[in-house]
Amino acid sequence: MILVTGGAGFIGANFVLDWIAATGEPVVNFDKLTYAGNLENLAALNGDARHVFFRGDICDRALVDALLTQHRPRAIVHFAAESHVDRSIHGPGEFMRTNVEGTFTLLEATRAYWGELADDAKEGFRFLHVSTDEVYGSLGPNDAPFTETHAYEPNSPYSASKAASDHLVRAWHHTYGLPVLTTNCSNNYGPYQFPEKLIPLVMANALAGKPLPIYGDGMNVRDWLYVGDHCAAIRAVLAGGRCGETYNIGGWNEMPNLVIVKTICALLDEMRPGAAGKYEQLMTFVKDRPGHDRRYAIDARKIERELGWRPAETFETGIRKTVRWYLEHQDWVAHVQSGAYREWVTKNYGARE
């Protein structure tokens, strides 16, 4: 079996569902269940013996040690992280604790566990650390996309905390020989994404007739990766990636935020026409956030060259699937839109006029 941290969050839950469907191999799912961790994401696995869930904190060394000793995983896939840039600006402390201290704790527990494995198990063991393209900083409009050798230039507390965790993973490989793999992905979208991120936020607000907030001029560019493609890429890296290597995972879909919002509005006009007219009329430009990186773009040729992975979805096919999923799962959306969520949206966007 494998151990997955953060497996009740957006990408982690999609990975757990994808992993069990694709491989049938059992998963021990270890998640703290913060605001973005949601066991409803894993409802399809209720009663499935291949999915074992434990609630806990990756900073809890004793609990991590106990899980490793009890379940003897052949690999760890580490998703657990605080990941929202705006939240990191308002409160960076939790990002340092989870992303830096938590990764350190997990690495030390893993090193102790791995060091006691028999030779064959020790040779086959892997620690896969899931990171972000934001560690590389910002690109100009004509700059080449990020490669795996691009210098780290994090610009937010979130990206700085992830950069620190990447460096820890690299150091534990080079100092202690721990067999690690690192992936740096671009912006994910798809089912089960908490509605603080751009795409689900736009859909939720549009359907409620609320303003669709767009930072600055809306021309900040991101590379968009459908979450199912990301899951397939991680499986490929875990199966065939070279120890100590980093693999960038991107969707080959650079798109400005303004285009994303307009695309969602057009799809909602088609699939769920609004009584008050076109959804695009709800678009509202708000004050830009501090340190907002202008452009990210991923060069994903290494993973294609070495492991044969390319995204299966174009942005057009992926965003259509995503909008349809949210329309068909409005009960899930309603459940995650708790008072705490509404509080957060008010805090973050209410003062941006």
> Quick check: 18 and 30 in contact, CB under 8 A?
no
Burial of 350 (0-12, 13-18, 19+ CB in 10 A): exposed
State yes or no: is 247 an active-site residue: no
* Alpha-carbon dihedral 68, 73, 75, 77, rounded to 10 degrees: -60
Rounded to whole angstroms, the Cα distance separating 302 from 248 reads 7
The catalytic residue among 134, 196, 223, 293 is 134
187-189 vs 2-5, strand pairing mode? unpaired
Instruction: Give the Cα separation of 333 and 265 in Å (integer).
Output: 18
Does the CA dihedral 199-294-297-156 come out positive or negative? negative
Strand partners for 213: 284
What is the distance, to the nearest Å, from the Cα of residue 277 to the centroid of all Cα atoms in its chain?
Answer: 34
Interatomic CA distance for residues 30 and 56, integer angstroms: 6
Annotated active-site residue in 133, 166, 196, 229: 133
CA distance 87 to 89: 5
Candidate list 136, 158, 189, 349, residue with the active-site label: 158
Q: Which helix (H) or strand (E) holds 286?
A: strand 283-286
Query: Is 152 a catalytic site residue?
Result: no
- In the sheet with 180-185, reading across from the earlier edge strand, the strands are 51-55, 27-31, 2-5, 75-78, 126-132, 180-185, 246-249
65 is catalytic: no
Question: Which residues carry out catalysis?
Answer: 133-134, 158
